[in-house]
Structure 1
Amino acid sequence: MELDRYGQLRPIGPARWLRDRNSGFSEICPFSPFALDENDLAAEYLPFTKHRHQLLGGYTGTFVGHVEEDDYRLSGSSGGMVTWVAAELLRLGLVDGVAHVKESNDPQTEGRLFRYSLSRNMSDLRAGAKSRYYPVELSDVLQIIRETPGRYAVVGIPCFIKAVRLACMREPVVRERIAFTLGLFCGHMKSARMAESFAWQMGEVIEQVERFDYRMKAPERPANWYRAQLTLTNGKTRAKDWWHLADGDWGAGFFQNSACNFCDDVVAETADIAFGDAWKEPYSSDGRGTNVIIVRSQALLDILHAALDAKRIALDPVDADFVVATQAAGFRQRREGLAFRLTWPRLGIRPRKRVRAGSHDLTAQRRLIYIIRYGISFWSHRVFLAARLLHRPKLYISWASAALAFYQGVAYGRGLVGRLARRLCLTGSEGGT
C-alpha cells in the first residue's frame, strides 16, 4: 500500500489482482466483488448473536455510556471505552497485544503522521487513544502477528475489520491468533491532505507539524464541537474549530476516499464489539464524551457486566433504534445514498453490495445533496493537488469555501443558494424527477 498523489493509500501491484480470483488479493480486499460480504462473515464469525437488525447486523447487547475509572474518558475522543476494552483484554491476559493506530515515531522521516502499531503494555496502548482521521494500513502488524505466536486484538474501522476477517478465512494462523476485533463506527475515510489543509488554514505547513490532534477535548464545550490542534516541531501549538475551517463540515465529503462511496457498513458489523459517538441528546452536548456500544461477543459482554457491577464503567442499555438514531446521517449516506449512487454509470469493477440500486423514493433535494457530496469528494483531491503544486493554498481554500457554502445552502436551506435550491427541487418534484 502506497500513498498516491492525492494522499490516499492504494494497493500497488499487477492489474490481474483485481480480476483473478486465485490471486488472493481479490478475496481479501473488502471492496472486491469476489469477497464475502458482511452478512457472510457475520454468519461465520458471529453465529450466536441473539438479535439481528437491518442496519446494525447481529448483536447481543447495545449500550450507551463511558469509563469511570482513571482518565480513560478524558484522554479519549469520546467516552474512553475503546481503549478501556482493549486495556481490559490485556489486563485479563486474554490477548498478548493490540493492533491499533498511533502517532508515527518520526512523521517527517516516515512521511505519515499515523500508523498501525502493536501495543503489548498499558502505557503503549494508552498512547494510541483518540480518533485519527488519516489513511493507515495493516500490513506490517499483520505480518508481525503471522510471525509471532500469541493472541491479539485488532482495532479498526468497518472495512479494516472486514479485511481482517477475510484474511482469517484464507490464513489459518491469522485466524488462530486474532482473538478479538474491536470495530469503530465510520462515516468515511479521509486522505492525508485533510491534515495538510487544516495546517494551511492555521498558517502552517505540514512539514512543521510534529503532532496532530483532530479532536481536542474540552469538557465545557459540546462533544460535537470539534477542535483541531497542531503541535509544531518547535513546540508551539495552533488550534481552530472545525466549523471555522473551509472543509470542516464532515458531511460535505471533503477528501473522502473514493471507496467510501461504495461502503454499506457504518457500525463494523463483523466486529466482536463496535463503538461510536453518542450523537444524540443529551449525550452530544456532554463535552466529556459518551460512547454508544454494540456487543456481539458473549465473552466481551461478560467483561462489561463485571466492570459495570464494580462501578468501573457507567453503561445504560439502549435499544437498536437509539443506536441507529445516533448515526442517522451515516446510515442515510451509506444506504439511501449508496442505492442512488449504484444507479450511476460506472466504469470498471462494481463492488458487491447488499444494497440494491434505486432512487425512486428520494426527493429531488436528497438526490442533489448526494450529487454535490460526490462532486466535493472528487474535486477536493484534485483542486488541492493543483494548489499544492502551484504553492497557492488560497486557491484550494477559496474553492473549498465556495463549495461548502453551496453544499450547506442546498442541505440546510441557507442563503440565496438555499432559496434557489428549494425552488429548483420543488420544480423538479412537480416535473416528476
Structure 2
Amino acid sequence: MPCNSSDQQNPPTPAIAPKAITGSGLCIGCGSCVAKSARPGVRMQLDRYGQMKPTGPGTWLQSRDEEFARICPFSPGARDEDELAAEHFSRAKNRHPLLGRFEAAFVGHVEEGEYRSNGSSGGMVTWVAAELLRVGLVDCVAHVKQSDDPQSEGRLFHYSLSRNLQELQAGAKSRYYPVELSGVLQSIREAPGRYAVVGIPCFIKAVRLACADDPILKERIAFTLGLFCGHMKSARMAESFAWQMGQDIRQVKRLDYRKKTPERPANWYRAQLTLENGETRAQDWWHLVDGDWGAGFFQNPACNFCDDVVAETADIAFGDAWKEPYSSDGRGTNVVIVRSKGLLDAIHAGIDEKRIALSNVDSEFVVATQAAGFRQRREGLSFRLTWPRMGMRPRKRVHTGSHSLSRQRMAVYIMRYWISFWSHRVFSIAELLHCPGVYMLWARAALACYQGVAYSRGPIGRIAQSLGLSGSEGRS
C-alpha cells in the first residue's frame, strides 16, 4: 500500500529537541531527522561506540521542534505502530496483538533462480523487490549494500538505490550493522519516480512518519518492505569479529554475517571476512565470545524501548522461520506477513506460477518463529519500563509492569541490558589500549554469567539455580 493511502491529519505534537532523544538513549540512528533538515553541517556519523547518530550545530541539536518530534520513530510525540497500521491497513483481514494488521501469512522460499542460495534465508525479500521492478510498480528500490570502498567511506555497509536486478542482488543477505536513511531519502526527493524502501521495523516506521510530513515522499514511496528484527548492532560487533579472527577491521573488504552452507542448519550462523588481499577468514558464531545474539552484545540502547518485532507498519514483512523443521534446513526459509492487498496478489501469482513455494500459516505459527524476540520486546520491555531512568521516557504500547516475572526472567533482562551497555565501553577501553584481550576476557565472563542464568549452563548455572535465579526453561 503506497504511503499516500490516507490524508489523515496528524495530531498536535509537543516540541522535542534532537539532543533530548540522543541524550535519553532513544536514537536508533535512522537519519530521517537529518534528511529533513536544511541546516548546513547537519549529518549522520558513527559515534565513539560505532552507532549512527545525528551531529550538527548546537543550535540545531538543542532546538525544540514539533516537526522533529513527529518524524523521529522513538519520539514520545510520534504516532505509534498501531496508529500508523490503522491508517494504512484499516481493512486488513486479520489483526493480532503481536503481529498487527495483515492479510495473510506464509512460510516458504523462492524456487526460481538463485534468490534462495544468494540470500541469508529463503530469498523472499530480494524476490519481492525484484518483482516490483519487473512489473513496473516501482522504478527503484532503497536497500542496504556493501560499501565499495569501506575504508574511505568509513563503514562497511550503506543504504543505496537499485534500478535493476543486478544492482538489487548486490544487496541480498542480512547486515547486522548500523546504517542510515538520510542519503536515500534526499535522493528520492530529488528524483521523480516510484520507490520501494527495505528496512527494519523502526526504519519503516520512520519512513511512514516522514511520508506523512512530506508530500514529495508521500507521493513517491509506493511500497515498504520490512525485515523482522531482534535488535540493531553497532559497528563494534564487526570489529570484534575481525579481532577474533586475527584481523584488523581496516584490512576487511567484505563481511558476510551469515555464510550459507546448505548442509548445516540455518540457525548455525557462520561469519566470513574477505580481506583486501582476497583471502578469507571464517568462524562459527558460537565460537565467538559475543556470538550469542540473545545476550545483547553491542545492542543499540534504543532497542531496549522497541515493541515492534515484525515491522507492523510495512506493506510486507519477512523473517526467518525459526521453527522446526525449517530452522534445520540450511537452504533457508522465510516467514512472510503480507499487509498490502496489491502485494498479496503478487504473492499468489508467484505461487500459481510455481516461482515461489509458500504455504499459508496462522498467527500462532508466526509468533512461535519469533518467540524470543517477542519475550524481549513485550515481557522484557514491560519490566524495563519500571526502571528509573534519566531523560525522556518513551511512550510505548506495552504497559509498565504488566507481566509477572520469575526471578530468573528478571535476571536475564537485567543482564542483557548491562551486557549491551558495557560491551561498547569495555571494547573502547581495549581499543584505546591496543589490547583486544581485555575485551575478550570481559566478554567471556559476561557470556558465562548470562548463559548460566538463562540456560543453567556450567558452574555459574549451578550457583544461579541455588539462588533461584535459574531454572530449566531454556528460553532466550
- Provide TM-score, normalisation by structure 1: 0.97
Return the alpha-carbon distance in structure 1 between the equivalents of residues 63 and 399 of structure 2: 23
Question: Partner of 1:153: helix, strand, or coil?
Answer: strand
2:68 is matched with 25
Name the counterpart of 1:367: 410
Deviation by residue 1:196-218 (Cα, 9 ceiling, x = unmatched): 00000000000000000000000
Match of 2:216 in 1: 173
Q: Which runs of 5+ in 1 are unaligned?
A: 429-433
Displacement of 1:20: 2.6
For residues 61 and 315 of structure 2, what CA distance do their matches in structure 1 show?
29
Q: 1:162 to 1:424 in 2, by over 3 A?
A: same
Measure the CA separation in 2 of the matches of 1:48 and 1:427: 45
Partners of 1:18 and 1:32 within 8 A in 2: no
> Which aligned pairs between 1:58-137 and structure 2 lie closer than 5 A?
58-137=101-180
The answer to whether the aligner puts 1:394 opposite 2:437 as a matched pair is yes
Instruction: Look up the match of 1:431.
Output: none
Contact 2:452–2:470 (8 Å) recurs in 1: no
In 2 relative to 1, CA 81–426 (structure 1 residues): closer, same or farther, beyond 3 Å? Answer: closer
1:147-177, Cα deviation, whole Å (9 max, x unpaired): 1100000000000000000000100110110
Given candidates 324, 336, 341, the residue that maps to 1:293 is 336
Q: CA RMSD in A?
A: 1.4
Q: What letter is aligned with 1:206? A: I
SS at match of 1:248: coil
In the aligned structure 2, how far is the partner of 1:98 from the partner of 1:46? 22
Of all paired residues, the percent bearing the same amino acid is 74
- Write the letter of the residue equivalent to 1:405: A
Long gaps (5+) in structure 2? 1-43, 472-476
2:349 is matched with which residue: 292, 306, 317? 306
Structure 2: how far apart are the matches of 1:41 and 1:321?
Answer: 23
Task: Give per-residue Cα distances to partners, 1:98-152, cap 9 Å, x unaligned.
Answer: 0000001110100100000000011000110000000000000000100110000
Of the candidates 373, 376, 380, which is equivalent to residue 337 of structure 1?
380
Within the candidate set 343, 348, 358, 2:391 is matched to: 348
Kindly tell me: are residues 281 and 215 of structure 1, through their superposed partners in 2, closer, same or farther at Cα, counting changes over 3 Å?
same
Cα drift, residue 17 of structure 1: 5.5
Tell me which amino acid in the other structure corresponds to 1:123. Q
Residue 273 of structure 2 is aligned to residue 230 of structure 1: yes
Partner of 1:248: 291
Counterpart residue identity of residue 288, structure 2: L
Mapped partners of 2:279, 2:61: distance in 1: 46
Matched, 1:160 2:194: no
Q: Could you tell me how far apart the structure 2 residues matched to 1:15 and 1:373 are?
A: 35
Q: CA-to-partner distance for each residue in 1:74-111, whole Å, 9 max, x for gaps?
A: 00000000000000000000000000000011101001
Distance, in Å, in 2 between the alignment partners of 1:21 and 1:245 is 43
Give yes or no for the alignment of 1:411 onto 2:411: no
Distance 1:181 1:92 in 2: 16
Q: Relative to structure 1, is the Cα distance of residues 337 and 15 closer, same or farther in structure 2, using a 3 angstrom cutoff? A: farther
Offset of 1:349 from its aligned partner?
0.6
State the 1:12 CA deviation. Answer: 1.8
Judged with a 3 Å threshold, the aligned counterparts in structure 2 of structure 1 residues 36 and 371 are, in CA distance, closer, same or farther, namely same
Is 2:453–2:470's contact at 8 Å kept on the other side of the alignment?
A: no
Q: Distance in 1 between matches of 2:185 and 2:91?
A: 27
Q: What is the SS of the residue equivalent to 1:334?
A: helix
Give the deviation of 1:421 after TM superposition: 1.1
- Specify which of 39, 44, 47 is matched with residue 87 of structure 2: 44
Deviates more, 1:173-182 or 1:357-366: 357-366
* Cα offset, 1:371, TM superposition: 0.3
Kindly provide the amino acid, as one letter, of the partner of residue 333 in structure 1: Q
Q: Quote the Cα distance in structure 2 between the aligned partners of 1:101 and 1:284.
A: 25
1:196 and 2:239 aligned? yes
Pick one of 427, 439, 443 that aligns with 1:384.
427
Q: Distance in 1 between matches of 2:353 and 2:190?
A: 38
Q: Is the 8 A contact 1:75 1:129 kept in 2?
A: yes
Shift of 1:352: 1.3
Q: State which drifts further: 38-47 or 11-20.
A: 11-20
Does the C-alpha gap of structure 1 residues 144 and 16 become closer, same or farther in structure 2, counting only changes over 3 Å? closer
How many residues of Structure 1 are paired with residues of Structure 2 in the alignment? 427
Q: Secondary structure at the match of 1:288?
A: coil
Match of 2:307 among 264, 267, 288: 264
Aligned counterparts of 1:284 and 1:257: Cα–Cα separation in 2: 26
